[in-house]
């Protein structure tokens, strides 16, 4: 235990560091982490927390994984980075080859990017460049659904939910796109004809100015932790085909098994024109993302004035990240991940549903390795965050949502402890 060190770190953190979605002048009190291993985060003061967040969906194999560590160390001895313009290397080539093989049929080319938001920027740029090449530069809008989240850079932000995404704050500086109501809530709720009316109407009226539809498949993450029926995604694909509009599917949160399928698109049996991957692609070890596309998009961009995709980040194809991503795929594909996620789903369903009828709870929903308790009012973060730490778990709610997406390696007992800690904390919340 080192409480002096903890306080010193907190003081310096508050003085110099700006945290996500936080004030710089009134900084939050964050918990310093000393190390992490398996499913545990170890705080500087010695406390061990069971991780319920996989560090924002990414660390699917837990922390300090021997195979991923070894891949990083080996790669470090060869090269940690080389530029990707004019040079290439085995880690990136192997990763791209494997992503093409694993993702839905038709996605044949991979553009490596350095974060999820950048992969969304690249996807949007691909779509715009495609239509400019086709002589249809008036197709300069995107269509999306409310409650979406696609990242924090400007184009990504412009397709986030208009309310959660703070569009009013950036009005005038952010592109304005078309929004229709979010898909109805419920993975198992059958799709009804009226669920598609707004989408059909918007596409019918505006298709000549729309380049692409962008959507998170099956699970809307940071925009509301909402699950929807795969038939909706299938209908989106069909409508895009009908109106000759590109479909961008953002699998950054859902990819690599989280929903029970390797990619959430598989629930609907569709292949998008463009797909974004990130987060768990490197097992959460380091920042890496990818934008995949099909031959239609490639041919379109080939025929543009530039003849090339106008994008190329400095750290594109970082060998260290690619080597770890390959190791992460090895670990995932060698495991019985599908069965394990089905088991995690059952435990979370049984454990979290015990609060479903409480006054303060609006809904409990579970899909794959994602468990969500939606409350009736937003949580008080200053109270709830230390309450979880006191109970020995790491859970980071937002708004009305207390949710978990633990590492796939979590044991039954650890997941039960995690769920019961959440249940205890939720029980203590009052509506007043």
* Residues binding ligand PLP (CB under 6 A): 56, 115-117, 120, 149-151, 216, 221-222, 250, 252-253, 278
Q: Give me the catalytic one of 21, 77, 171, 382.
A: 21
Residue 302 CB, nearest approach to ligand PLP (Å): 27
Residue 182 CB, nearest approach to ligand PLP (Å): 14
Taking the least distance from each CB to ligand PLP, the nearer of 150 and 177 is 150
Q: Give me the catalytic one of 51, 250, 273, 400.
A: 250
Of 66, 37, 95, the closest CA to residue 326 belongs to 95
Taking the least distance from each CB to ligand PLP, the nearer of 63 and 149 is 149
Taking the least distance from each CB to ligand PLP, the nearer of 255 and 300 is 255
Crossing angle (nearest 10°) for helices 230-243 and 197-206: 20
Beta strands in 222-294 (DSSP E): 226-227, 246-250, 274-277, 289-294
CB 232 within 8 A of CB 72: no
Crossing angle (nearest 10°) for helices 381-390 and 412-428: 140
Q: Is 149 a catalytic residue?
A: yes
- The tokens describing 175, both together, are 């592109």
Residue 223 CB, nearest approach to ligand PLP (Å): 8
Q: Give me the catalytic one of 149, 228, 285, 403.
A: 149
Taking the least distance from each CB to ligand PLP, the nearer of 56 and 243 is 56
Q: Give me the catalytic one of 279, 285, 400, 403.
A: 279
Residue 263 CB, nearest approach to ligand PLP (Å): 13
- The tokens describing 182, both together, are 């979010």
Q: What H or E segment, with its residue span, contains residue 210?
A: strand 210-215
Residue nearest to ligand PLP (CB): 116
Q: Is 232 a catalytic residue?
A: no
Residue 183 CB, nearest approach to ligand PLP (Å): 15
Residue 117 CB, nearest approach to ligand PLP (Å): 3
CA distance 418 to 406: 9
CA distances 346 to 59, 138, 341, 361, Å, are 21, 49, 9, 20
Angle at 237 between CA 226 and CA 177, to 5 degrees: 70
Q: Is 250 a catalytic residue?
A: yes
Q: Is 234 a catalytic residue?
A: no
Q: How many CB atoms lie within 10 A of CB 184?
A: 15
Taking the least distance from each CB to ligand PLP, the nearer of 116 and 319 is 116
Taking the least distance from each CB to ligand PLP, the nearer of 126 and 253 is 253
Helices (H), 225-357: 230-243, 265-268, 295-302, 319-334, 337-352
Catalytic residues: 21, 149, 250, 279
């Amino acid at each position: 235990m080192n409480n002096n060190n903890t306080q010193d770190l907190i003081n310096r953190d508050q003085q110099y560091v700006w945290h996500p979605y936080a004030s710089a002048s009134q900084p939050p009190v964050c918990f310093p982490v000393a190390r992490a291993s398996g499913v545990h985060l170890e705080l500087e003061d010695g406390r061990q927390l069971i991780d319920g967040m996989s560090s924002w969906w990414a660390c699917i194999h837990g922390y300090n994984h021997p195979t991923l560590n070894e891949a990083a160390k080996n790669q470090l001895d060869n090269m940690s980075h080389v530029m990707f313009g004019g040079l290439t290397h085995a880690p990136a080539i192997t990763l791209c080859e494997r992503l093409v093989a694993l993702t839905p049929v038709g996605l044949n080319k991979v553009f490596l990017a350095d974060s999820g938001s950048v992969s969304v920027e690249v996807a949007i740029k691909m779509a715009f460049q495609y239509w400019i090449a086709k002589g249809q530069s008036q197709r300069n809008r995107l269509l999306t659904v409310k409650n979406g989240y696609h990242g924090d850079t400007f184009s990504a932000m412009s397709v986030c939910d208009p309310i959660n995404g703070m569009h009013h704050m950036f009005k005038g500086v952010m592109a304005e796109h078309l929004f229709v109501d979010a898909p109805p809530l419920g993975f198992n709720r059958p799709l009804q004809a009226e669920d598609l009316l707004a989408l059909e109407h918007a596409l019918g009226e505006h298709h000549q100015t729309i380049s692409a539809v962008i959507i998170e498949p099956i699970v809307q993450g940071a925009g509301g932790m909402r699950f929807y029926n795969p038939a909706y995604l299938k209908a989106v694909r069909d409508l895009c085909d009908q109106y000759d509009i590109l479909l961008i599917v953002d699998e950054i949160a859902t990819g690599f098994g989280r929903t029970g399928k390797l990619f959430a698109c598989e629930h609907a049996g569709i292949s998008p024109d463009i797909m974004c991957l990130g987060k768990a692609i490197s097992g959460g070890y380091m920042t890496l993302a990818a934008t995949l596309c099909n031959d239609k998009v490639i041919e379109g961009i080939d025929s543009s004035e530039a003849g090339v995709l106008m994008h190329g980040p400095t750290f594109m194809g970082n060998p260290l990240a690619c080597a770890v991503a390959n190791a992460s795929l090895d670990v995932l594909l060698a495991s019985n991940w599908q069965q394990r996620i089905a088991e995690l789903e059952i435990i979370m369903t049984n454990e979290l549903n015990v609060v479903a009828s409480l006054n303060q709870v609006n809904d409990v929903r579970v899909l794959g390795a994602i468990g969500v308790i939606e409350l009736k009012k937003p949580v008080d973060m200053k109270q709830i965050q230390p309450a979880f730490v006191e109970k020995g778990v790491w859970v980071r709610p937002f708004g009305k949502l207390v949710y978990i997406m633990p590492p796939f390696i979590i044991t039954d007992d650890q997941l039960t402890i995690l769920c019961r800690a959440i249940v205890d904390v939720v029980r203590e919340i009052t509506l007043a």
